[in-house]
Amino acid sequence: MALAYATSDRGGCHLRSWPIGEELLSAKERMDPFSKEFKAEFVKNQQDLFALINSSGLCLFATFALNLKQITPSPFGDGIEVFSDTNELLRIGERINNVTRLST
């Protein structure tokens, strides 16, 4: 959580990344809360995902019930090829984060 707070674009904010969910609440394999392995990648990817979700008009809490493949067609509509690829969506989220950081 410290890494998420330190790298958030608006100061210590749990709405930009929330790695505790993967450490304590994940129904799948949980991340070790005491290990540093994969934490930086996880926080960065989650910040990109949350930026995308916040920009799409969806409520951020939808990410607790839906995965990216389920979210992909909904906010952007069908027929837009670039939005059918989840990796491209994360790159868009990364761009949103970069622009946000450049403008502050």
Question: pLDDT tens-digit profile of 16-55?
Answer: 999 988 888 876 788 888 999 999 999 999 999 899 888 8
Tell me the pTM.
Answer: 0.80
Other CB atoms within a 10 A radius of the CB of residue 22 amount to 18
Task: Give residues with Cβ within 8 angstroms of 100, minimum separation 6.
Answer: 9, 51
CATH of the domain at 61: 1.10.599.10
Beta bridge partners of 11: 9
The pair phi, psi for residue 11, each rounded to 5°, is: 85, -170
Q: How many domains does the chain have?
A: 1
pLDDT of 99 higher than 80: yes
**Closest listed residue to residue 44, CA positions, set 26, 70, 17:** 17
Dihedral sign for Cα atoms in the order 66, 33, 88, 60: positive
Question: pLDDT tens-digit profile of 55-80?
Answer: 888 888 877 777 777 776 555 555 45
The domain in which residue 72 lies consists of 2-103
In this structure, what token pair is assigned to residue 14?
């749990």
